[in-house]
Amino acid sequence: MKIDLPHAPFFVRPPVDDNGGVDFLGLRQANLNLMDTFLPGVNNVTWNVRPYSMMAWTVWAFANEARERGMTEIKASDFTKFREKVEVLFNWGHQLDDNGAGMPGNAQVPPAGAGEVPLDFASWKRNVTWFDAVNYGPSIKDENGLGFVHQVESGLFRPTEAGEALAKALDETLRATQEYETLESLETGRATEAVAQRLYGAWRIDECSAREATIFKDVLYQADASDESARVQRRSGAISLIQESLSEIGRPLRADEIRAEMMRTTTQSRRSLPVARAKAVWTVLQIRQAQRLAFEALFAWMEMRILVQGDASSQQLVGALVALLTAQGYDLGRQDWVSACLATSMQGATIEGSIVDIGLNDDGVGILAQTNELANDIPDHRDDSAVRAVMLLFLVAAVTEELEKAEEYAELLNEGGSQRVSLRWWSRFVKGKGGLPAPQFLTNAFENYLLSQHFGIAAIRTSESKPRLRITIEEEGLVSLLKKDADIWQPGVTADRLESTLSLMADCGLLNRMWDDGEEQWRYSP
């Protein structure tokens, strides 16, 4: 490749104004890997069974109609036209009933005019499809999802055996409508509001037939998955863990209560593989969630200090943090401050105890509660969040050190390696710095795991159209590339697929669900 080198000095172009991305420390992928290990095949947007049925029906009905017409050459563009018609009608009915919140494509806009309107995405100013990677697309495929469709080529699919069964189950309902002929036709077609409204009753997203539920359940979960693929075994083990956690309590629980219960002491009923494996992965994932949020909270606080307070060096940042820790009563005077913090965190941190209940304070607030408290502090209490983040990182290191003693946890603790600051890497770093006083340890941590980590990730991921660099080093020291206080990072805990999975389990009959009016959220029971 020929590269033209400059022949004279020149000014580089100024950075693009808008800074893109959500992962400025590069820690996110390790969390996603653990989520996929725990609950493969689903994601955080796959809440209902009916979209799977609609998508499988779209693939199956298109293939049927093409075969009946004797089409020997099928193009992806042919399927796209059919798919867009189905999806527009699906979303349209939900929009008319004010039941489309959160649905992919819910922002579609009806074409102007009364009467019949075209049913293609362009006419509806829409480009989002249910088959997109950020929606149900990966989950419905057979490669890494639940396996209802197989992707033949880009934009073209065929139903699997399970997908055909699910499609036929929905087809029984759709055939009872007077709009079926319009729906199954390969023509792009036109329709009125009345058509969308009548179809809505047959395929609304929050319902599914008993037949659909049974077919979906048999794919989602195998009680005895010993002869199934590793992904099915892992997902089935996770679902069994959820069921057992609910059974042990014996009352309806919220999602956050289930999340904690799944981490508690392993009982005899959970010693079967793959349920025990699922509990180990789940526990490590929650610890990793805490670690990632703590690092990101410190980075956000650092952004605030550089932009608003004018701090220009790691020494100034650490000085400000030391002052905050001292003001909140932490004794930073001892030379072995790191070892003392680690020892305090280790109190009660045993495998025999309950990891979720381990706390740093007199109230015994556990690691999940501390993670949530930190997430709540970040937007409006930045100084408090920095202190919480530091102490949570000590707790993470202590818990990791204890988990390393058990074989079922050991391999999981290195997810992410040194590049993404794995739990093991962080724990050994903290232990190795045990004899350092607070300022020296914090300076080391800031320079290695915040500044250098960010610079390295930004260098790898930045493109001209999507810069990731938020801080630079200039002659005057650290300089923020952010324009205003509102641009400071507001990290939060990434959803861990639990709530979407609980919803799918309830939809297909693996759990019962009831709405708690007082707390305005679902409760689940066996």
pLDDT of residue 464: 47
**Mean pLDDT of all residues in 215-225:** 91
pLDDT of residue 173: 95
pTM, to two decimals: 0.91
pLDDT higher than 70, residue 357: no
pLDDT of residue 194: 93
pLDDT of residue 436: 86
pLDDT of residue 16: 45
**Joined tokens for residue 307:** 């932009």
More confident call, 363 vs 312: 312
pLDDT tens-digit map of 442-461: 999 999 999 999 999 988 87
From residue 180, alpha-carbon distances to 86, 89, 163, 209, 477 in Å are 11, 12, 20, 18, 67
**Mean pLDDT of all residues in 314-336:** 91
Any idea where the domains of the chain sit in the sequence?
34-39+292-487, 50-207, 220-274+498-525
Supply φ then ψ for residue 243, to 5 degrees.
-65, -45
Residue 164: pLDDT band by 50, 70, 90 thresholds? Answer: very high
Quote the mean pLDDT of the chain: 88
pLDDT higher than 90, residue 325: yes
DSSP label at 487?
G
Supply φ then ψ for residue 302, to 5 degrees.
-60, -40
Classified as helix, coil or strand, 153 is strand
pLDDT of residue 408: 84
pLDDT tens-digit map of 63-107: 999 888 888 788 889 999 999 999 999 999 999 999 989 999 999
Sequence-distant (≥ 6) Cβ neighbours of residue 161 within 8 angstroms? none
DSSP label at 313?
S
137-140 long-range Cβ contacts below 8 angstroms, 24+ apart: 138/43, 139/41, 139/42, 139/43, 139/46, 139/52, 140/52, 140/55, 140/56
**Mean pLDDT of all residues in 477-481:** 94
pLDDT of residue 468: 78
**Joined tokens for residue 461:** 């991921």
Fold observed for domain 220-274+498-525: Arc Repressor Mutant, subunit A (1.10.10)
> Which residue's entry shows tokens 């952010």?
482
pLDDT tens-digit map of 372-398: 999 999 999 999 999 999 999 998 998
pLDDT tens-digit map of 118-159: 999 999 999 999 999 999 999 999 989 999 999 999 889 999
